[in-house]
Amino acid sequence: MTSVTIHGAAGEIGGNKILVEDKDTKIFLDFGLSFSKWGSYFTPYLQPRKWSYISDFTKLGILPDLEGLYRPDFENRLRESKTEPEYDGVVLSHPHLDHAGFLSYIRTEIPVHCSPGCKSILQALEETGSGFHEYTKIKEAFKIRDSKTDPTKKVREYKSIIPRQLNLFKPKFTIDDLTIHTFPVDHSVAGANSFVIETSEGAIVYTGDIRFHGRKANYSKLFVEKAAEFDPVVMMSEGTRIGDKTTFGELDLERKLYSLVSDISGLIIVNFPVRDTDRMKSFIAAAKSVDRKLVINMKQAYTLSLLEQCCGAEVPRLDEINIFIPRKGWGILNDDNYPDYVQMKDYQYWEAELINKSNSVTDEDIKENPTDYIFRCDFYELKFLFDVEPPEGSKYIRSVTEPVDEEMEIEKVKADNWLKLFNLYPYEQIHCSGHASGFEIKEMVDQISPKTLIPIHTETPKVFGDFHSNTVVKKLGGKFVLG
């Protein structure tokens, strides 16, 4: 029997966890975090309990209740974990958390397959991110041993680090009975792929997240052409913007930026998605057009340093930009009263590497020469405006999506307060989506022409029925049998 089961992204945007079963082979396409489900229960102050992750998440419908899938160190707190894994692989479409964020809970014996760009971004997140990120290796939790002083008692043991088996994509590879064809596609993050999976009952197409109006639109078009040749039985298509007709693209945005930045006489302050290297390229180009340089933060610079080793011209070069080194901790960076090693105590190992680079800049540099820079400053960095002191004539360009939920609305109100404080309000808004428009999705589905269409990663899956007569809408946990 061959089937697909939608364990995430059914009637919601993100949280993709698609189980593909063919005879004895079981793989997951993506294993992402559902922000909407997570946000229904948790807040920054109401956080899950680490010892009870698997139990709580399965009860809340955040993770599927499946055995032989999760790390024994966590699962054993809920039930006795199977000795052997029951799944043969996880194939990641791209490194956005709504597709890869729950990989941290998967047992390490299950091989993970991803693109080099995806691996680099997950590695950067693991090293620089706050929160629970165990993608390339895990820190074994709740490890115990017998007490040396009282053998009837147990004590905590040092945690072991266990690496994951991460296999980098080839254009075509197999996992037992399945053959997976990988196609790099256009999306708002480096290393995104769509797949065709050949099963014993025909081909399955999985789009992951895709668009046709970014810098790699031709890749997406090529995927569609190739996918159609497989005459697929099933297609699982993303539909984030199925009801949205706007086709404003990344190159339109870049052109608009040129005119926006040309008449700003002070500091140009911008916000764009942290890992969107396509958008970063737009701002680098806009900066060059007015003889400025884009300043990004240390996390972005560290991610770029990993990406430039594997992704070539797909991503910006680290030497094209400046890196902002903020004062942290005691706030004594570049204070000659303190020796270097004391100043460095405020920084982590990966940050220390960046501080000494010739293209690093501080708030002093930006304050002294505001017209030399385009300063990226996201919501969490607005406090740095106290240090860079934007002069008169400065402008803020917001290049992120409009709020889509209550939490984002609240964040925007706070951001606006900061901008008003520094005379940066009103600001300019300019953004283009990482997802295909309704028109682009329809064209893709028409061209691939699957026998059955299963909409995922959308809040309005029924709309797909308007243009594909055999649209099957699945609820969470719903299974579709191919034959």
Of 8, 11, 14, 316, the residue at the interface with Zn ion (CB under 5 A) is 14
CB of 227 to Zn ion, least distance (A): 19
Q: How far is the CB of 308 from Zn ion (least distance, A)?
A: 21
Cα separation, 87 vs 68, in Å, equals 7
Burial class (CB in 10 A: 0-12, 13-18, 19+), 258: middle
- Comparing CB distances to Zn ion, the nearer of 19 and 269 is 19
Q: Rule CB under 5 A: which of 77-106 touch Zn ion?
A: 96, 98
Q: How far is the CB of 470 from Zn ion (least distance, A)?
A: 24
Residue 279 has a CB neighbour count (10 Å cut-off) of: 26
Mask for 321-360, x = binds Zn ion (CB under 5 A): ----------------------------------------
Strands 18-22 and 2-6: antiparallel
What would the x/- binding string for Zn ion be over residues 204 to 233, using CB under 5 A?
Answer: -----x------------------------
Residue 415 CA: distances (Å) to CA of 268, 288, 311, 431: 16, 27, 33, 17
Decide if residue 37 touches Zn ion (CB under 5 A). Answer: no
Query: Pattern 256-295, binding to Zn ion, x per CB under 5 A?
Result: ----------------------------------------
Contact between 221 and 230 under an 8 Å Cβ cutoff? The reply is no
> Min. distance of Cβ 375 from Zn ion in angstroms?
26
Beta bridge partners of 202: 199
Query: How does DSSP assign 305-316, residue by residue?
Result: HHHTTTSGGGS-
The size of the chain, in residues, is 483
Q: 298: part of which helix (H) or strand (E)?
A: helix 298-307
Query: Is residue 426 reached through a cis peptide bond, with omega within 30 degrees of 0 on the bond before it?
Result: yes
For the bound state, the minimum distance from the C-beta of residue 441 to Zn ion, rounded and expressed in Å, comes to 14
Q: How far is the CB of 463 from Zn ion (least distance, A)?
A: 18
- Which residue, 191 or 370, is less far from Zn ion as judged by CB? 191
Nearest to 239 by CA among 440, 476, 92: 440
Residues 172-211 that bind Zn ion (CB under 5 A): 209
Instruction: Choose one: 7-15, 72-80, 295-303, 404-412; the region binding Zn ion (CB under 5 A).
Output: 7-15
Pick the closer one to Zn ion by CB: 98 or 198. 98
Q: Contact positions toward Zn ion, by CB under 5 A?
A: 14, 96, 98, 209
